[in-house]
Structure 1
Amino acid sequence: MLLCTLGLISTLGATPARAEMSLLMFEEVGCMWCARWNADVSPEYPITPEGIAAPLRRLDIHDALPEDLALTSRPRFTPTFVLIEDGTEVGRIEGYPGEDFFWGLLARLIAQATPED
């Protein structure tokens, strides 16, 4: 995770004008994997480089999609994490594979969305 974080920091620092990014978390009541993510990741997420680059926005999977979002498809599983750049989906993680895998997958999505100059 440290190498991914260092790479993410250098990627974010190399971008002169970043697009507006956010991470959508589609969840539902009773989702045990959502609860696990909440225990493992949620407390630290806002203070990580990833959380600063893509603040978290929680959505109920059963609610109508907000009009400001353009997704490639409607999420079907919880949790589903969708990386949004200027309102448009640029990547997603379906399910929660555990903390170590989550951070690596998210760092890769953010790096792909913010290519180095």
Structure 2
Amino acid sequence: MFFVVNKYLLRRRFVGVTLWPFIVMRTPDLKKDEVFINHEKIHIRQQAEMLVIPFFIWYAIEYLYRLVQYRDNYVAYLNISFEREAYARECEINYLRERPFWSFIAYL
């Protein structure tokens, strides 16, 4: 896992994004934010267990499905199974130690 600080790589609403093996963040102080880092580490695990490219394909297809379902970009994003898992478990700092393989399926 590598940290990249670059506000120009991110859309206005987002403070960070994970592009395996990188966590891109808007500001350097986010490196100290345990909840933010844990959220992004959950995405790193999801991407690794899906072999990266299939993760992004699934993510895009599910986003489009949720966009049709909810008709709102942000609500669609929040309801992607990968995001639902990461947001639900981001405060559990030890979550990744016990997380079963493909746990995001429970959030579909």
State the TM-score, normalizing by the size of structure 2.
0.32
State the TM-score, normalizing by the size of structure 1.
0.30
More strand by percentage: 1
Larger RCO, structures 1/2 (Cα 8 Å, 6+ apart): 1
